Amino acid sequence: MAATALVFTNTQASLNFMNLVKFDDGIFVMSYNFFDHKKIGGYREKIDRGGVAMQAKLQIKKGLAVGIPIMLGYFPIAVTYGVIAQQAGLSLLELTSMSVLVYAGAAQFMGTNMLAIGAGSIEIILATFVLNFRHFVLSLSFMHRARAFPLRWKALLAMGLTDESFSVASTQPKALQEDKGYYFYIALFTGAYLSWITGSFLGGIVGDIMPSSISQSLGIALYAMFIALLVPAIKSNVRYGLIACLAMLLNYGFSKIWQEGWSIVLATVTASFLGIFLIRRED
């Protein structure tokens, strides 16, 4: 367990550790297979299934470890959401089921607020749609890369897609090629999801437990995570930085004209579209 805590992302330290895991499990699996094929052929199927289960378990472990920054970032925001929703008059069941069913931070804050001020239902639902439509673009991008995965896994993964899980998953393309790679992404997504639900529930029960200085300073946590994902990508290829800067400028301009949800969608779509030409020029 102490060692597991060392694998967070693809940094060098964790790479060493993952090799270590692979070494441990790999040796284990290899000796199994060797044993099985050469010595006791009759047990082959049973033992192969053991190897498959082990591969899945390894992917789950890696996914959970890579998801730790999201869990850390989500938890205080979810607690804050729980507190605000409870003060806005939502019952514990209502506020927790919103986290379970909707699972979208900004939309939940907005929806709670609109429910509290007695806004119309249609208005709330439309605003949620506008705010969350960016997930369509993100999901299309991730599903395109993960198109080799079985459909039921793609559908399951799509439901857990958020800005944060998408961003982390996109910078971890290795598991797309690996055996049972979908277990990696499902573990990554589920960890974040559970952190969000647990935080909301606790916020709804215990009310304002977190000192406001702590929750305010953790407000930068997810931005810091986004930066930590972007900087290594730019270092590996400068044109990613150009695309990101373009999106920043466009979003800054668009946010003066349109609602936040549309602004992010349009900035992302436009900047990535212009990215096609940047990429082509380098080819």
Partner 1 sequence: MSPIFVIILMAVVTIGPRIIPAFIVDLIKFPNWVGRWLEAVPYAALGALIFPGILNVLPDRPLVGLIGGIVAIVLSLLRVHTVLIVLGASAVVYFML
Residue with smaller CB distance to partner 1, 27 or 148: 148
CB of 270 to partner 1, least distance (A): 8
32 vs 226, which CB is nearer to partner 1? 226
Q: 112, 91 in Cβ contact below 8 A?
A: no
Q: Which of residues 229-258 bind partner 1 (CB under 8 A)?
A: 229-233, 235, 240-241, 243-248, 250-252, 255
Q: How far is the CB of 271 from partner 1 (least distance, A)?
A: 4
String of contacts with partner 1 for each residue 1-40, x by CB under 8 A:
-------xx-xxx---------------------------
Sites for partner 1 among residues 112-151 (CB under 8 A): 115, 121, 124-125, 128-129, 132-145, 147, 151
Q: Which of 79, 98, 175, 188 binds partner 1 (CB under 8 A)?
A: 98
Q: Distance between CA atoms of 94 and 201, rounded to whole angstroms?
A: 10
Minimum Å gap between C-beta 87 and partner 1 is 14
d(CA 213, CA 71): 20
- The least distance separating partner 1 from the CB of residue 153, rounded to whole angstroms, comes to 9
Contact between residue 78 and residue 203 where contact means Cβ atoms under 8 Å apart = yes
Kindly identify the residues of this chain, within the stretch 176-205, that bind partner 1 according to CB under 8 A. Answer: none
56 binds partner 1 (CB under 8 A): no
Binder to partner 1 among 63, 69, 105, 181 (CB under 8 A)?
Answer: 69
DSSP string for residues in 169-221: HHT-THHHHSTTHHHHHHHHHHHHHHHHHHHHHHHHHH-S-S-HHHHHHGGGH
**Which residues, numbered 157-176, are part of the site for partner 1 (CB under 8 A)?**
157-159, 161, 163, 166-167, 170-171
**Comparing C-alpha atoms, which of 26, 23, 17 is closest to residue 62?**
17
Instruction: Examine residue 80 and tell whether it contacts partner 1 (CB under 8 A).
Output: no
- CA atoms of 266 and 251, how far apart (whole Å): 8
- 209, 76 contact by CB (below 8 A): no
> CB-based contacts of 66: which residues, under 8 Å, 6+ apart?
7, 8, 9, 168, 172, 184, 188
Member of 29, 79, 104, 187 binding partner 1 (CB under 8 A): 104
- In this structure, what DSSP letter does residue 72 have? H
Say if CB 69 and CB 168 are below 8 A apart.
yes
For residues 86 and 83, give the distance between their C-alpha atoms in angstroms, rounded to a whole number: 5
DSSP structural state of residue 9: S
- We find the least distance from the C-beta atom of residue 60 to partner 1, in angstroms, to be 19
Minimal distance, residue 36 CB to partner 1, in Å:
35
Q: How far is the CB of 57 from partner 1 (least distance, A)?
A: 23
Size of the site for partner 1 (CB under 8 A): 99
Tell me which residues in 215-234 interact with partner 1 (CB under 8 A).
Answer: 216-221, 223-233
